[in-house]
Structure formats: C-alpha cells, structure tokens
Chains A and B, each alone.
Chain A
C-alpha cells in the first residue's frame, strides 16, 4: 500500500485554468505538507498542516489554496495557472509537527502549464 499518494501524477493544462491536486496518507500521521520542486530541482516548502489546521504558509501566491478536510487528506487548489507554476508538487507527511520526525513524500505531481 502506498503510504502517501497523490493524484494526478501528470497534469498538462493551459494558462488561466484552475486545477487541483489531491493527497492522502494512510500512515496515521498528524502533519501534512506541500512542497514544490522547480526545474532546477530545488525543493521548497509551501504549506504545512497539523490536524487540519494551517501551521506554515510560506511566501506563496494566494492563487494557491490548500484544503484539509481531515488529517489524512491535504489537497492543493491552484487558480489562474501561470507558466511559472510548472513544477513538480510533492505532498508529504510526518507523525506530528514536532522536531525529530521523518518526513515521507508522495510520488509527486508533474504540472505543466502551457
């Protein structure tokens, strides 16, 4: 069974569209994250949720809106997509918000905006 799963794996869409990426973890973890990996392979935190509550919101355009219906799910909705949003988006989870916990990543969602 996949521990952290996200869909879709590949997404090609036009500028201006709105799209969502879904994420689910079956590890019983309290904390979930969205990371963005750009074309230079730099992996950067976007959001962190703990028990459905937003904990960390890095400097991300407000076109990006995460939603956590329960602690096992963290979806990412992106409005008015731009070319620069093309990247790989990784969902991840950890046992809880405190230090010392390993972060486990999903397989990634490859978003291409044309």
Chain B
C-alpha cells in the first residue's frame, strides 16, 4: 500500500521562509512531485524529484531523501499569493505514471 503524510496546516508571515515536510511509504518509488492548489482551482505542478538532493526553482526548492522516504518543499520570500494547499505526490514502482497524493498542507501567509 501507499502512505503519504504531510502536516494539515501551516501558517507563516509574508517575507519569511517555510518548509513543508512529506514522508512516504510506497511499493517502490519512481519520483516525488509537489503541486500547488489554490482554493477552487486545479493543482498546478511545482517540482519533481527522482534522485536524492535539492532541486531549486526560483523561490521554491524541493528536497528528496529516498533512503528516509522524506521530502520537503521550501518556500522563500513568502508572498500573500502563496497561500494555498501544497500537495505531495508519489509515483510508485509499478512503471505507471499515476500519482498517489497526500492530503495536502494548507499554508496561510499573513501580512
């Protein structure tokens, strides 16, 4: 089976840095994705990690440790528009592209 855990909610202040953690237990592993979902909208792709280490993309970075079954999404210089749900998703080792999602972390950025 698959199990993906991430905190339900987090709060942070504009301009700050926040780290959203995700731990997973899956049948095999073929990549980890982070998606952002604003209320009432579709999830949009943020990052993809398949090898250990840090992937940086502007204000957002994502880290993966396959041995620990652990990832985090780092958001720097937070803006109000970053208030959204952040979904951790894992592709298992079946060879198929289907993603299994965690329940999402609702991030609230305050002034």
Residue numbers of A with Cβ under 8 A of B are: 31, 33, 40-45, 48, 55-56, 90, 94, 96-108
Q: Give the number of residues in B that approach A within 8 Å (Cβ atoms).
A: 24
Please, which residue of chain B has its CB at the minimum distance from the CB of A93? B97
Answer whether A97 and B96 are a contact pair too, CB < 8 Å, given A43-B87, A43-B101: yes
Answer whether A56 and B99 are a contact pair too, CB < 8 Å, given A102-B33, A105-B44, A106-B42: no
Q: Give the chain B neighbours of A48 by CB distance below 8 A.
A: 96-98
Q: Give the chain B neighbours of A90 by CB distance below 8 A.
A: 42-43
What distance in Å separates the Cβ of B27 from its nearest Cβ neighbour in chain A?
13
Q: Give the chain A neighbours of B42 by CB distance below 8 A.
A: 90, 105-108
Instruction: Choose among B41, B50, B97, B98 the residue with the greatest number of A CB atoms under 10 Å from its CB.
Output: B97
